[in-house]
Amino acid sequence: MVPWRDMPTRVVNGIDELRTLVGQEVGVSEWMTMEQSRINAFAETTEDRQWIHLDAARAKADSPYGATIAHGFLTLSMLSEFSREAVDVQGDFRMRINYGLNRVRFPAPVPSGARVRGRFLLASVKDFDGGAEVTWKATVEVEGGAKPPLVAEWVTRLYL
């Protein structure tokens, strides 16, 4: 267990072991607080400065959520960090890359200050010339939330 983690990162020893886990939840990340400062920084980086993300007074008065909320794409971008915390696929790989997304949905908001974490179910492992393509069913959940703010089918590639 890593000293700062409450739960251990799931270690998977190579592609062959990874294949045995298809259809199973392989890992869960730590909880992370979605701070307003992170939302603000994302807004500046992407130039998506919509009031629902940045204006706390207006969001309290006019938003159905009663507070500012994280951008859906900010939540999506956290998958990389959440997956690093949740699952460590070990092996002699030249590189690991994000290959794409087959499906992404944002069913619920992430209010500023909420705690979120990622869950990773292994959907498939397919060989290609030079490596393996791994598809994850990734879900981000909000602590105490009824619906997840993100459900995605995320494709990564491991190059041998």
pLDDT at 1: 43
Coil, strand, or helix at residue 70? coil
Q: Is 136 left (phi over 0), alpha (psi -120 to 50) or beta?
A: beta
Tell me if 45 sits within 8 A of 124, measured CB to CB.
Answer: no
| Burial (CB count <10 Å: 0-12, 13-18, 19+), residue 34 | buried
Residue 90 to residues 12, 13, 37, 134, 143: CA-CA distances in angstroms? 6, 5, 34, 14, 30
| Residues 37-86: tens digit of each pLDDT | 999 999 999 999 999 999 999 999 999 999 999 999 999 999 999 999 99
87 Cβ contact list (under 8 Å, min separation 6): 9, 10, 12, 26, 27, 120
| Residues 113-158: tens digit of each pLDDT | 999 999 999 999 999 999 999 999 999 999 999 999 999 999 999 9
pLDDT at 2: 45
* Topology given in CATH for the domain delimited by 10-159: Thiol Ester Dehydrase; Chain A (3.10.129)
* β-bridge mates for residue 97, sequence order: 157
Q: Does the pLDDT at position 97 exceed 70?
A: yes
